[in-house]
């Protein structure tokens, strides 16, 4: 059974909002074997500039489904998040589930994959370009400058301090992130 944990930040979760969230996420139930309890954690946020952010996390064994969306309308954000989750579920159902069924993930998804969705998901991971790069030793700050100069969203480089391969990337909030290898 799909259960809902709906919370609000800077917004009161009204019965209308709660029922709309449940109505939109109820469409996902057809993908799950509901003999086991599954909890969807929904976080609704409203910012000062009146933008509405919806975050939904559905933890499963060996897998966490998560989606978030920010728009100027709470109901539209809920719609977009439910669509993103449905795409994620179809992707796992047609692709990952096939390979990891013996680990227990298959117990959560209902059998009978859509062939059309499977073909689309297979095409989605087609590599259309292969590129080789030489990693230059530099600091993360230099890497960010290089990334911005190239107008990319991420940049792979060799950290001059650790000699390890690292990645800097641009976050949705406008700040930067750093991924370091061990």
DSSP-assigned beta bridge partners for residue 6: 42
pLDDT attached to residue 113? 42
Query: Model pTM?
Result: 0.56
Asked if the model's pLDDT at residue 164 lies above 80, the reply is yes
Asked if the model's pLDDT at residue 175 lies above 50, the reply is yes
What span, in angstroms and rounded, lies between the C-alpha atoms of 176 and 81?
A: 24
Alpha carbon distance, N-terminus to C-terminus of the chain: 41
Asked if the model's pLDDT at residue 144 lies above 60, the reply is yes
Question: 3-state SS string over the chain?
Answer: CEEEEEEEECCCCCHHHHHHHHHHHHHHHHHECCCCCEEEEEEEEECCCCCEEEEEEEEECCEEEEEEEEECCHHHHHHHHHHHHHHHHHHHHHHHHHHHHHHCHHHCECCCCCHHHHHHHHHHCCCCCCCCCCCCEECHHHHHHHHHHHCCCEEEEEECCCCCEEEEEECCCCCEEEEECC
Q: Name, in order, each residue with C-beta under 8 angstroms of 21's C-beta and a sequence gap of 6 or more.
A: 4, 6, 42, 44, 78
pLDDT attached to residue 44? 94
Mean of the pLDDT values across residues 4-11? Answer: 91
- Mean pLDDT, the chain, rounded, equals 81
Query: Of 123 and 135, which is predicted with more confidence?
Result: 135
Q: Name, in order, each residue with C-beta under 8 angstroms of 174's C-beta and a sequence gap of 6 or more.
A: none
Tens of pLDDT, residue by residue over 41-96, are 999 999 988 899 999 998 876 678 889 999 999 999 999 999 999 888 887 776 65
Mean of the pLDDT values across residues 96-122? Answer: 53
Delineate the domains of the chain, giving CATH numbers in brackets: 2-124 (3.30.160.100), 137-180 (3.30.505.50)
């Amino acid at each position: 059974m799909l259960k809902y944990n709906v919370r609000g930040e800077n917004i009161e979760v009204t019965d209308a909002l709660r029922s709309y969230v449940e109505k939109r996420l109820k469409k996902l139930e057809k993908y799950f074997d509901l003999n086991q309890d599954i909890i969807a954690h929904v976080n609704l946020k409203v910012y000062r500039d009146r933008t509405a952010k919806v975050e939904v996390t559905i933890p499963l064994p060996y897998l966490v489904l998560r989606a978030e969306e920010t728009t100027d309308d709470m109901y539209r954000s809920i719609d977009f998040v439910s669509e993103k989750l449905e795409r994620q579920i179809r992707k796992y159902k047609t692709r990952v589930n096939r390979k990891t069924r013996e680990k227990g993930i298959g117990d959560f998804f209902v059998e009978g994959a859509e062939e059309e969705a499977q073909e689309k998901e297979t095409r989605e991971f087609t590599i259309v370009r292969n590129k080789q790069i030489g990693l230059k030793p530099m600091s993360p700050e230099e890497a960010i400058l290089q990334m911005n100069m190239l107008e990319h969203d991420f940049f792979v480089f060799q950290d001059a301090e650790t000699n390890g391969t690292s990645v800097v990337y641009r976050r949705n909030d406008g700040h930067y992130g750093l991924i370091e290898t061990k």
